[in-house]
Structure 1
Amino acid sequence: MPEVPEVSRRSVLGGAAAGALAVGLGAGAASPAFAAPGADADVAAGAAAPSRRAGQTSMINVPYEAHRTVRVATIGLGNRGNGMTKGWSVVPGCQVTAVCDIRADRAKRVADDLVKAGKPRPAELGGSAESYAEMLGRDDIDLVYIATPWEFHYEQGRAALLAGKHVIVELPIATGLDELWDLVDTSERTRRHLMLAENCSYGRNELAMLKMAHEGVFGDVTNGHGGYLHDLRALLFSNTYYTDSWRRLWHTRSTASFYAMHGLAPVAAAMDINRGDRMTTLRATATAPKGLADYRERFVPKGHPSWNETYINGDLVTCMIETANGRVIRAEHDVSSPRPYSRINSLAGSRGIFEDYAGTSRTGGRVYFEPDHGGHAWRDFEPYRKEFDHWLWKKIGDDAANNGGHGGMDYVLQWRTVQQMRAGLVPDIDVYDSATWCSPVPLSVMSLDRKGKPVAVPDFTRGAWVNLRGGLDSRMTEMPPV
């Protein structure tokens, strides 16, 4: 992977357009392009959609073209890219045809591992920051999977679209508001799909929660709570886990909700965000940045490079998000505090509530629903998961357990993506979902610059959110025969 470039706070806000809106950057008034006449600039910032170019049309409900075999190329072969490349190679009807990393030895090592596993040897590219561009010129690639540090996702995702490839990008697809819009527009212009590699949206509990919501178990859904609460301190200070310390360095650049999508996306799906409802405003709060400096003081030798760093990102960044239909989502991000892992994954409505990560059962969740329950006592989630288990887990759950990381959800994501491309189906997660779920990264910065005032969440669908349509709540379909 490339050396980590200098990333300005402005790029987290979204480049020139959003940067002009940031009070903290000294730009003053909001740009007229983002604020409706007479509207509060704090709320309106970033709301208006840029106009489509002539001939540019939506990618909503556009199916993949059918592929006999899906040929996948990976950019970025660190911990995540290495593991997921092996995952792609075992999905029926999928072949890894190229692997790329700035460190050429990684590409060779991954290619060697695939051959040892009985797979065809992929092309190996690496050795420079431009190697990925050379790879994108190949004609034996249908899908590009990107697992590089966050600061490269936008550039590489956009380049893959322009090269005529479909793209799946690790979280987030971009960190700037104008970058998110550009990926939407580039997808529409090239007629190629770009999707966030949101594996947690394919988690077993998350998909069961989705089905329960859509089948009325919660009554009228009113609120949800999700996020990413993961003590990463030891890994952030590791000299080997995050190459060039790229992830720790983001904590020196901005106060932002960098990675809440793992919990936000499943809640948004259960609420039909972009499919009958949409996120409208976001307001953010942040605690003081204490955790990383405290950990360094206690556990990191004085000669370590991190002692030249100042951490500014809050330990806990919370986003309160309102929707057009009056729902509320609380999304949280904390990787700097000592705590057990949790994505929270909670949903509530007029008839009851589900809370994941409660430790009350082997399935990890607890529930309380009327008329089934009473006495103000939590009940076990397991009977509900059995009843509302998603067809993907019923069909390939055993394969997922044997072939995929993160409890099998990685494999479910990969299998479903390949199945949709081979069968010519509409993707479960599209570029509009991906941009919306990632927008709290720059929007949290904008809100915090305004001392927690609300900012508008852009409508990346340009009005199409009012139409009900399918998504992760898919009906069972078969993987085409190999």
Structure 2
Amino acid sequence: MNYLDRRNFLKLSTLALGGMTAGLLSNPSMARGFKKNLRLGFVGIGGRGSYHLDTALGITGVEIPAICDIDPENLYRAKRWIEESGQPSPKLYDKGPTDFIRMCEEEELDAVICATPWDTHAPVCLAAMKNGKHAACEVPLAQTLEEAWELVETFEKTGKWASIVLGGFGDMTMLNMVRKGLLGDILHAESGYIHDLRMVKFNPEEEPWRLQPAIDKNGNLYPDHPMRNMMPLLDINHGDRFDYLVSMSTKSGMLNEYAKAQYGEKHPYATKKMALGDYNASLIRTVKGKMITLNHDTHTPHPRESFRLQGTKGIYLRERDAQRIYIEGRSPEAHQWEPAAPYLEEYAHDIMKNYAPPERKGGAIRGHGSGGITQTPINWHRLILALQENKQPDWDVYDSVTSAAIIPLTGASVADKSRPVDFPDFTRGKWETRAKLYS
């Protein structure tokens, strides 16, 4: 299994549910289900938030006593779903864009689930943490370095964490290939958020806030999806750390052209100045000499992104519909790709092989990004276990803010003619001894 997208999740879940593994049997909370009820409050229950809400409603032992949204349609749809699941009617927080603060102050919750527009992620998480609640958030966790440091310092002061655990789950097979030494020492990884979002940015019914960042900011505005693979592969914050980056953007023009084509040359956005370049490329170097090429392109016509991982012994290329590999001395033809399928089977990670969540209530998960999934997504399952066991999720506060910090740092580099920008060490030196992610 190479990575958890909507297509192969169903296959994974079907295989995993075939029986309990030794790993599961050694973990009573996974073998028997969750140990105690958890109370979750939701902030932001639109398309993506409704997906997380419905996921939570299908997990035995999860209670949702409070929900918050500025859109009445989203709020009352969520209220109806909660009642239809057999839970008591939740308390509604709808008194304006900062009513999540009141919810965090008044409600007794184990955690707050945040799926709001980007610029409110840090305020929601901080409100939760400062009122004795953990926060599980969609990506990114912060927009500025000031927010990132405040999240770290609030965690260290209160013991309440914030995490981008909701943003998805990494490619465990690729990670296992690296940890087992198949590719040798890792030198370079290249990927990015390459996703044509022109239609989304001009669709007020779907994500009405999505266009504004392109008007206001330049740089890499959405690093977290590729980072969820890159950071574990390069041991970032867990044996290595980011040292500095440089970033460069092309001119901007594709959103104007799209507006002209769709709405006519007199439409305001046909000539509106857009800050975000149509393509951004950033280079990030680590203290130990590894390198990342991180790309961002949401304005041009193209298929989705690929992932390239180069080591001293070989290279792995993961594309949307095919995976190729070359291992020096092992691949049958010198300097020729071979299909990666046999390696993907050989290096399947124990986390994925052992994944068999308790039976989920209800049918297919509703909301944006579900793709017909009927089993609890692994990141949600592991989030609930972390809450039950009173520990941080796989991605802790330090990892979450490190990924988000790429946004302001690339913005600073682009604005300064692509000059290098130093990367903060949010761990304050602890990166040298912290255990590896997913270890």
TM-score, length-normalised on structure 1? 0.77
Code of the residue aligned with 2:311 in structure 1: it is G
Distance 2:64 2:291 in 1: 41
Quote how far apart the aligned CAs of 1:309 are. Answer: 3.1
Question: Which aligned runs of 4 or more in structure 1 are off by greater than 4 angstroms?
Answer: 301-305, 397-404, 406-410
1:130 and 2:88 correspond: no
Offset from partner CA, 1:81-131 (integer Å, 9 cap, x none) = 111111122234322222110123321211102322444433222141232
Aligned equivalent of 1:432, options 398, 402, 407? 398
Partner in structure 2 of residue 35 of structure 1 = none
Partner in structure 1 of residue 15 of structure 2 = none
Aligned equivalent of 2:110, options 142, 147, 154? 142
Distance 1:390 1:91 in 2: 24
C-alpha spacing 1:103/1:127, structure 2 compared with 1 (3 Å): farther
Partner in structure 2 of residue 442 of structure 1 = 408
Partner in structure 1 of residue 342 of structure 2 = 383
Partner in structure 1 of residue 64 of structure 2 = 96
Partner in structure 1 of residue 245 of structure 2 = 282
Aligned equivalent of 1:251, options 208, 211, 214? 214
Partner in structure 2 of residue 187 of structure 1 = 155
Code of the residue aligned with 1:275 in structure 2: it is H
Partner in structure 2 of residue 231 of structure 1 = 196
In the TM superposition, what are the counterparts of 1:22-41 in structure 2 within 5 Å? none
Contact kept in structure 1, 2:140 and 2:404, CA below 8 Å: yes
Partner in structure 1 of residue 254 of structure 2 = 291
Distance 1:383 1:97 in 2: 47
Code of the residue aligned with 1:378 in structure 2: it is W
Q: Kindly, what percent of the aligned residue pairs are identical?
A: 29
Quote how far apart the aligned CAs of 1:298 are. Answer: 0.8
Partner in structure 1 of residue 144 of structure 2 = 176
Contact kept in structure 1, 2:316 and 2:325, CA below 8 Å: yes
Code of the residue aligned with 1:229 in structure 2: it is I
Partner in structure 2 of residue 72 of structure 1 = 40
1:353 and 2:315 correspond: yes
Partner in structure 1 of residue 422 of structure 2 = 456
1:367 and 2:325 correspond: yes
Distance 1:397 1:301 in 2: 52
Quote how far apart the aligned CAs of 1:346 are. Answer: 2.5
Contact kept in structure 2, 1:103 and 1:128, CA below 8 Å: no
Distance 1:454 1:273 in 2: 19
Partner in structure 1 of residue 352 of structure 2 = 393
Contact kept in structure 2, 1:211 and 1:390, CA below 8 Å: yes
Q: CA RMSD in A?
A: 2.4
1:221 and 2:180 correspond: no
Contact kept in structure 1, 2:256 and 2:269, CA below 8 Å: no
Partner in structure 2 of residue 470 of structure 1 = 436
Distance 2:376 2:117 in 1: 19
Code of the residue aligned with 1:247 in structure 2: it is R
Offset from partner CA, 1:235-256 (integer Å, 9 cap, x none) = 111121113xx11011111212
Contact kept in structure 2, 1:319 and 1:440, CA below 8 Å: no
Quote how far apart the aligned CAs of 1:391 are. Answer: 3.4
Distance 1:95 1:380 in 2: 46
Distance 1:73 1:300 in 2: 40
Code of the residue aligned with 1:170 in structure 2: it is E
C-alpha spacing 1:214/1:103, structure 2 compared with 1 (3 Å): same
Offset from partner CA, 1:226-284 (integer Å, 9 cap, x none) = 211000101111121113xx110111112121002201231111111000000000000
Q: For structure 2, list consecutive stretches of 5 or more residues without a partner in the other structure.
A: 1-33
Distance 2:87 2:315 in 1: 46
SS in 2 for 1:84: helix
Contact kept in structure 1, 2:57 and 2:85, CA below 8 Å: no
Quote how far apart the aligned CAs of 1:303 are. Answer: 6.8
Distance 1:406 1:357 in 2: 21
C-alpha spacing 1:199/1:156, structure 2 compared with 1 (3 Å): closer
TM-score, length-normalised on structure 2? 0.85
In the TM superposition, what are the counterparts of 1:151-162 in structure 2 within 5 Å? 151-162=119-130
1:414 and 2:380 correspond: yes
Aligned residue pairs total 398
Code of the residue aligned with 1:286 in structure 2: it is S
Code of the residue aligned with 2:348 in structure 1: it is D
Quote how far apart the aligned CAs of 1:305 are. Answer: 5.5
1:341 and 2:307 correspond: no
